[in-house]
Amino acid sequence: MVFEPFEDESDFEDLADRLNDPDPAVRRVAVMDLADTADPDAIPMIARAVEDESAEVRLQAAIALGEFDGLAAATALCKALQDADGKVSRVAADSLAELKDPEAADPLLELTAHENAKVREGALLGLKQLRRPDALANGIEAMKDPVAAVRIQAVGVVGYLKAEEALPALIACCRDEDPEVRRTAVSALAFTKSSHARDALLAALGDDNWAVREIAAEVLGRFPIGKDAQKLIVLLDDPYWQVRVKAVRSLGVQKVSEAIDRIGAQLDELTSNLRKEAAAALGEIADRAALPYLESLVDDPDPDVRKNVRWALGKIG
């Protein structure tokens, strides 16, 4: 985008006149022109358009404000977030998520307790990227929200902060009634080495939602699992290949030699991603018992599988 800063006051006056035009199409284009200038002095004028009677003009204002940083833009976007038009509030939430200025958190913190669930969700979405430590309490409280979409964003806020004191709340969300909340909470446990988090992840391996099992299998690769490796090995029979891929990867990272035969069996799968991960995992384990499985795949039709097989054979020597 080519920015054209205002050269003199007459440019402001012209755009101000166009923002008052009776035709909403003219007002909408004026908002676009203000955004193209990238001049911070344009923010108050765009903020006026947030309250325009036309939803299309308000929508354009929410988009335009996403081009700016700072508290003034964030405050105007918070107003747009509360718009009665769902499209306007959604765009405002997305624009808030793009703001990287920590000052933008101040108006957002207040909105995490707003009566409208969409506003609460959007405020938390904006807070997540800012990683403000003082948002932790708001995030933990919002993890008990009656609306699942709000809880998902709250888990994101807390997960980004990587605070050990939030672990009990995150672990509780691993048992949430909503599968996406559970999946997000399980993913958020990747930052810690807590034994309580490890237990929650092991429990999540048995979740009835495959996406939760998948992320639990992946995150467990970061934890020493010892005798509980069998719970990961069981997942090699999962009906979803995506789950098996993550289980294979974590078993390789953990160098679980008792899983060699079960991982080797994955080399017969039609899904090339699974064969590729199985070859890599056998290389990580680096046990000569894996040689027959790897040698059977040196001519695999997938070049990525062949590459991993060669690498694994080299690791085993």
Give the model confidence (pLDDT) of 273-289 as tens digits: 999 999 999 999 999 99
Residue 10: the pLDDT is 59
Work out the burial of residue 129: count CB atoms within 10 Å of its CB; fewer than 13 is exposed, 13-18 middle, 19 or more buried. middle
Residue 218, pLDDT > 70, answer yes
Top-confidence residue, 235 or 100: 235
Q: Percent of the chain having pLDDT more than 70?
A: 96
Top-confidence residue, 40 or 215: 215
Residue 98: the pLDDT is 81
What single-letter DSSP state applies at residue 192? Answer: -
Residue 11, pLDDT > 70, answer no
Residue 126: the pLDDT is 87
Residue 2, pLDDT > 70, answer no
Task: Write 264-269 long-range contacts (CB < 8 A, 24+).
Answer: 264/290, 264/292, 264/293, 265/236, 266/236, 267/293, 267/294, 267/296, 267/297, 269/241, 269/244
Residue 9: the pLDDT is 55
Q: CA-to-CA distance for 57 and 20, rounded, in angstroms?
A: 12
A 10 A CB-CB count for 143 gives 24
- The mean pLDDT value for 64-93 works out to 89
pLDDT band at 208 (very low <50, low <70, confident <90, very high): very high
What is the chain's mean pLDDT, rounded?
91
258: tokens are: 């008792």
Residue 74: the pLDDT is 87
pLDDT band at 3 (very low <50, low <70, confident <90, very high): very low
Q: Which domains does the chain have, with CATH numbers?
A: 1-68 (1.25.10.10), 227-317 (1.25.10.10)
